[in-house]
Amino acid sequence: MSDARRIVESGYDSVAERYLEWSARIPDDPRRRFAAELLARLDDGAPVLDLGCGAGVPSTAALAERHDVLGVDVSEAQLALARRNVPGARFERGDMTGLSFPDGSFAAVTAFYSVLHVPREEQGALFARIAAWLRPGGWFLAALGSSEANGVEDAWLGAPMFFSSHAPAENRRLLEAAGFTLELDETVTMQEPEGPATFHWVLGRR
């Protein structure tokens, strides 16, 4: 495991409960709107992979109401919360860049604020792997970073945390190179407890 991944794992293990409380204080979190866009496109019972599922709320819980959801996270503390919060889904510990699934395993893959913890030089290869895991016509919904961030924030919610991202134009290029057609492509600014934060939301079809 790389230093970046150790920092992400250790950080979320440390702040899991704090992050859950912190994220609940974000008004009008775009996750709800974009998850609804995906849900409207899926048949009941569709297999969905949620990468970086965290504590499972609100996104994994919304997906699991109608679908067969597998949530994956690198943090065991986050997974403990997710299993408690979303008993109707399955959860596994893992690093999203090291996962292996047969081609065409899922109707949709989601990544809510989680790809930005993957070193940006690895994100293009990750998108290509996600495309392979999807059925033809399958969907990838993600909230990606929107800046050229790349490094460790020393005290994010009280713990070190690694962030890495591209600007939207490079996100688009990498997603299209992986075989996705973007049906939704929005840069959205929301109000986190400390102030505004901007993310690049995409819904791509394989």
Q: What is the mean pLDDT of residues 49-60?
A: 97
Q: Specify the pTM.
A: 0.97
Structure tokens at 173: 């290029």
Q: What is the mean pLDDT of residues 12-18?
A: 97
Q: What is the mean pLDDT of residues 53-63?
A: 97
Residue 134's nearest CA partner among 160, 158, 101, 166 is: 101
* Residue 168 burial (10 A CB sphere; 0-12, 13-18, 19+): buried
For residue 205, pLDDT over 90 is answered with yes
Instruction: Give the span between the Cα atoms of 21 and 4, in whole angstroms.
Output: 24
Cβ neighbours of residue 137 under 8 Å, at least 6 residues apart?
A: 205, 206
**Model pLDDT, residue 1:** 53
What value does the mean pLDDT of the chain take? 97
What confidence tens digit (pLDDT) does each residue in 182-201 have? 999 999 999 999 999 999 99
**Model pLDDT, residue 29:** 92
**Model pLDDT, residue 2:** 81
For residue 47, pLDDT over 70 is answered with yes
Q: Is 44 helix (H, G, I), strand (E, B) or coil?
A: coil
Q: Is 55 helix (H, G, I), strand (E, B) or coil?
A: coil
What confidence tens digit (pLDDT) does each residue in 128-149 have? 999 999 999 999 999 999 999 9
What confidence tens digit (pLDDT) does each residue in 154-171 have? 999 999 999 999 999 999
Instruction: Give the percent of the chain with pLDDT over 70.
Output: 100
